[in-house]
Amino acid sequence: MSIPLTKARALLKRIAGLRILVIGDVMLDHYIWGDATRISPEAPVPVIDIARDTWTAGGAANVAINVAGLGAHCTVIGFFGSDANGARLRQILGEKGVQALATPGDGMTIVKTRVMVQHQQLCRLDRESAPYAYAIDPGRSGALLARAIKACDAVVLSDYAKGTLSERLVAQVTKLARAGKKFIALDPKPKHQMAFNGLDLITPNKREALQLAGIEPAAGAPFPAAAVCARLDERYGTRNLVVTLGEDGMLLSSGGRVLKTIPTAAREIYDVSGAGDTSLAGLVLALTSGAGLEEAAHFANAAAGVVVAKLGTATVSPEELLDHVSRAP
């Protein structure tokens, strides 16, 4: 089962009027595309003949362009270095219709460079400063956050464990969002240990959900869905929980109870880079526009199904999503 075409159209129509604020670890994704036909005489490594370079938004910036790609208005708050990569990332966001608001700090823009050989990723090269260079100081950025939250319908906290989000910041944003009756969601990274409570949605993957729950199943044992959902509700009191299960789809939970698992909507999978960002964007947009959790999950699942059929970090347009839904079995 997938979302009916009529419901997808209705959701997209409502989404077009939404204003979404994304806060988190913004990055620049750099792709080097080439071919390898020989081994270097200097070392047993392939020699890459570079054909072209491409750049797109990554991390929280990818969440933002996915939100904008589906038709909503989007603003992203994060650290942009005063370097060429920061300028390039701002330009990409602007071209996608996303307003970028920079927070004070020192350091280089985070860049992830992927070397692609015959459409396969050979390696990844990361450029970044020490994590705390990117931290948003709630004191220095308090007025900026307050204005941005007041102007939006929903807040998305996108954590890539690079240091932009802190426990203090999440607490302040949650308080402001609650005061303004705004929907608030978090894509958490357990290795960045951080307390949070009372959010409307969290979207960990299977491994992250186990870490957040403090559960380590025996090797080869099935995913302990009931125990994980109950523990996460007890610890974090989140209204809705969606655990992304990769090729197994999405696990939906509310009030600590397992509601159901919906299968993946992907027909072809070329690259899963950024698929979680697409799912997060789709879930937040659908839930904020009034959809129930299951309908929102089917909507987000369809959006991710389009994205994983593309190479590189990608987004989905309303037209692509409707075409995908219309061809669903």
Locate tokens 């270095």: which residue? 81
* Residue among 280, 327, 325 at smallest CA distance from 10: 325
Q: Could you read off the pLDDT of 40-81 as tens digits, one per residue? A: 999 999 999 999 999 999 999 999 999 999 999 999 999 999
* Residue among 21, 22, 3 at smallest CA distance from 12: 3
| List of residues 6+ apart from 24 with CB closer than 8 A | 59, 60, 63, 76, 78, 156, 157, 158, 159, 160, 164, 165, 187
Cα 9 to chain center, whole Å? 23
The three-class DSSP label of residue 217 is coil
Which is it for the CA torsion 56, 57, 58, 62, positive or negative? Answer: negative
Is the Cβ–Cβ distance between 264 and 276 less than 8 Å? no
Task: Supply the pLDDT for residue 282.
Answer: 96
CATH number at residue 189: 3.40.1190.20
Alpha helices in 180-292 (DSSP H): 206-213, 225-236, 275-288
Cα 25 to chain center, whole Å? 10
Angle (deg, nearest 10), helices 275-288 and 293-307: 150
Alpha carbons 109 and 87: distance in angstroms, whole number: 9
Q: Could you read off the pLDDT of 291-316 as tens digits, one per residue? A: 999 999 999 999 988 988 787 677 89
| List of residues 6+ apart from 125 with CB closer than 8 A | 112, 113, 114, 115
Strands (E), the chain: 19-24, 26-39, 46-59, 73-78, 98-102, 111-117, 120-127, 154-158, 183-187, 201-202, 240-244, 250-254, 257-262
277 is an active site residue: yes
Task: Supply the pLDDT for residue 93.
Answer: 98
Alpha carbons 154 and 176: distance in angstroms, whole number: 11
Locate tokens 């620049």: which residue? 28
| Residue at 207: amino acid letter | R
Count up the domains in the chain and report the number.
Answer: 1
Alpha carbons 187 and 21: distance in angstroms, whole number: 14
Tokens standing for 50? 């570079």
Task: Supply the pLDDT for residue 9.
Answer: 96
Read off the pTM. Answer: 0.93
Exactly one of 29, 187, 233, 277 is catalytic; name it: 277
Domain extent at residue 227: 5-326
262-291 per-residue burial string, b: 16 or more CB within 10 A, e: under 16: bebbbeeeebebbbbbbbbbbbbbbbbbeb
Locate tokens 């920079």: which residue? 102
The three-class DSSP label of residue 167 is helix
Residue 217, CB-side half-sphere exposure with 13 Å CA sphere: 14
pLDDT in tens, the chain (329 residues): 679 999 999 999 999 999 999 999 999 999 999 999 999 999 999 999 999 999 999 999 999 999 999 999 999 999 999 999 999 999 999 999 999 999 988 889 999 999 999 888 999 999 998 866 788 988 889 999 999 999 999 999 999 999 899 999 999 999 999 999 999 999 999 877 788 999 999 999 999 999 999 999 888 889 999 999 999 999 999 999 999 987 788 999 999 999 999 987 655 555 566 688 999 999 999 999 999 999 999 999 999 889 887 876 778 999 999 998 998 76
Residues belonging to the chain: 329
